[in-house]
Amino acid sequence: MEILLENVTKTFGNTNVIEDVSMTMRSGRVYGLQGINGCGKTMLMRLISGLIHPTSGRVLVDGKALAGENSFPESMGLLIENPSFLKSYSGRKNLEMLASIRGRIDKTGVQNALERVELADNADKKYGKYSLGMRQKLGIACAVMERPDLILLDEPFISLDEAAVERTARIIREERQRGALIVLSCHDYDLLTGCSDEIFKIVGGKLAHRLIRDGEGKFKEAEL
Amino acid sequence: MYKVIRYDLRYGVLEGRRKLLLAVAMAGLALADFYFDFVALSLAFTGEIWGFGKLDLSLGDVILLGMGGNFGRTGSGPLSSFVFPTLWYLSVLFPCCMTLTLASDDISAGGVQIMSRLRGRGRWWLSKCVLCAALVALYYAVLYAILWLGSVLMGFKSSVVPNEAVFATCFGGVKFVASETTPAALLAGLIVQPILVTVALCLTEMAMTLFVKPIYALIAVAAYLAAGTLVLSPAFLGNFAMPLRSKAIGVFNFDFLTCLALCAALSLIAVLIGRWKIAKTDII
C-alpha cells in the first residue's frame, strides 16, 4: 500500500488547518505525527482516512484518489480521538457486529483481538460500563482486529496504564512486521520515537520537519 | 450493502426498542380517548354506560375516533368547527421523534467504523434510510396491534369498516356510506396512508438533520404537520395521513394512489439529497 498526499490543504472558514502538505507513506512502516495540540495531527489523520475532504490537493491510496463512493481506503483500521461504540452492548458484541459487515474474521478473530489488548476478561461487560482505559483498549482492538493494510491510531496510549501502553506498543510493532502501514500520533515523544520509523513534525498545519530512523536506531533530519 | 442493512436492522431496531414505547403510549392515549367517547356514545345510543356489545363497533371506529384527525376548516355547515387533532398529530410526530437522530447519532457513535468498513458514505446513508422506514413500520405495527387487541378485548369487530350511525353522531352529522367504498380502500385510508406519509416525513426530516441541527428539523416537520391540519391541500401530506380526510371516508379526495406517488417522490428526493450531502460532509 502507498498513500500519497499531494499539496493537501484543508480550510475551515478562513483558517487553514492543514496547509500544502505533501507526503508519501508505504506499507511495513510506522509514521509518527508530532506536534502541539491543535497543530493539525488529527485533521491530517482524518484526511488520510477519508473522513474529511481536502479543500485543495489530493489524497491517493495506491494511485487512486479518495472520492465519491470510494471515499475511504479499502482496508483500514481506525482509532481517532475517543472511540465510540453502542453503549448497551458488550465490547465483544460491538466488535462482532462490526466484523460481520466485512465478514473477514469470525468470532475467533474477535476473541484474538480482545486477547491482544487484554480485554478478554471484560469483553462481556456492557460498553457503557467500561472505564476510559477499557474503551481505549476496545478501540485499539477494533482498529487491528481485521488485520487491515492501513492502521490509523490517534493518541492510542491515552488513558492506558503502563502495562497496557507496552502491550499497545508491541501490537504496533507486530502490525508493522505483518506489513501494515501505520500512522500514529502521540504527545509522548519517547513513545512516538520508540514506535515510529519516520516522524513528521507538524507546526500550524504545515509539515515542518521529517525525521527518519537510521540503521543505528537514531532519528535524522530528512528532506521534506 | 446487504450486510450493513442486516446489521442496521438487527441492531438498530434493538437499539430503538425503547423508543417503541412511544407506540405503546400512543395506543394507550388513543384507547383512553376512545373509551371516553365510547361511554358518551353508549349513553346516547343505548342509555347505558357499559353498553359495549350493543353498538356493533369495529377497529375502524377506534382508529377514526382515536386518531382520525379532523375535517379541517371548510367554512360552513357541520364541518365548520375546528378542533386541533392532538392525538393524530402526536401519532405522526412520535415516529418523527424516534427517527430524528438516527443518522446524526450514528455518526458520533459507531457510524464512522461502519462507513470505513463499507468504504462509502452513500451505502451507509441508504442503510440508515432503510432502518428509518423499518422503525416507522414497526412503530405502526405496534400501535395498530395494541389498538386491535384493545378492540378485541372490548368486544369489537376486527374490521376497519366503521359504524355509519356512530360515525354520523361523532362527526357532526357527516355521512359515511360503507357501500360506497371497499374494505381494501378503508384499509389503505385508515392504516396504509398514515404509514406512507410518516415514512416520507421521517426520511425528509433525517435528510434535514444533515444540514441543520436535529431540533430544527423536528420543528420544521411539526410545523408542516400542524399546517396540514388547517390547509386542505395535497401539498400538505398530513392531509393524506388523516383517516378522516382519506377518500375512503368519502368527504375529501385524498386518495391512496396520489398519496403513494407523492410519498414515493418525497422519499426519493430525501434519500438522494441526503446521499449527496453526506458525500460532501466532513466528518469531524
Is the minimum CB–CB distance between B4 and chain A shorter than 8 Å? yes
* Cβ neighbours around B80 below 10 Å, total: 12
With a cut of 70, list the residues of chain B below it in pLDDT: 52-53, 73-81
Residues with Cβ within 8 Å of B219's Cβ and at least 6 positions away in sequence, in order, are none
Percent of chain B with pLDDT over 70: 96
Across the interface, of A53, A73, A101, the residue whose CB is closest to B118 is A101
Q: Give every strand in the sheet of A181-185, ordered side by side.
A: A76-79, A150-154, A181-185, A30-34, A198-203, A206-213, A219-222
Which chain A residues contact residue B109 at CB under 8 A? 84-86
Instruction: Show which of residues 161-190 on chain B sit within 8 Å of chain A, judged by CB atoms.
Output: none
Task: Indicate if the alpha-carbon torsion angle B55, B61, B66, B69 is positive or negative.
Answer: negative
* DSSP single-letter state for residue A68: T
Task: Give this complex's ipTM.
Answer: 0.87
**A101 and B279 in contact by Cβ < 8 A?**
no
Question: Which of the four pLDDT bands, split at 50, 70 and 90, describes residue A130?
Answer: very high
Q: For residue A151, which phi and psi values (nearest 5 degrees)?
A: -125, 125
Percent of chain A with pLDDT over 90: 81
Give the minimum alpha-carbon distance from B209 to chain A in angstroms, rounded to a whole number.
18
Give the minimum alpha-carbon distance from A36 to chain B in angstroms, rounded to a whole number.
19
Give the minimum alpha-carbon distance from B204 to chain A in angstroms, rounded to a whole number.
22
Using the structure block, give the residue that is written with the C-alpha cell 466488535: A95
**A84 and B108 in contact by Cβ < 8 A?**
yes
Query: Would you say domain A1-75+151-224 falls under CATH 3.40.50.11610?
Result: no
Closest residue by Cα to residue A142 from A167, A119, A160: A119
Across the interface, of A70, A71, A142, the residue whose CB is closest to B113 is A142
Instruction: Give the max Cα distance, chain B.
Output: 68
Q: For residue A60, which phi and psi values (nearest 5 degrees)?
A: -115, 130
Instruction: Show which of residues 122-151 on chain B sit within 8 Å of chain A, judged by CB atoms.
Output: 122-123
pLDDT at B146: 92
pLDDT at B79: 52
Selection from A6-10, A79-83, B106-110, B122-126 with the highest mean pLDDT: A6-10
Across the interface, of A53, A86, A102, the residue whose CB is closest to B282 is A53
Q: At what angle do helices B111-118 and A91-102 cross, to 10 degrees?
A: 20
Query: What gap in Å lies between CA B266 and CA B221, rounded to an integer?
Result: 13
Are A95 and A138 a contacting pair, CB within 8 Å? yes
**pLDDT mean across residues, chain A:** 93
Instruction: Give the pairing of strands A181-185 and A30-34.
Output: parallel
Q: Where are the domains of chain A?
A: 1-75+151-224, 85-147
Give the minimum alpha-carbon distance from A40 to chain B in angstroms, rounded to a whole number.
12
Using the structure block, give the residue that is written with the C-alpha cell 410519498: B263
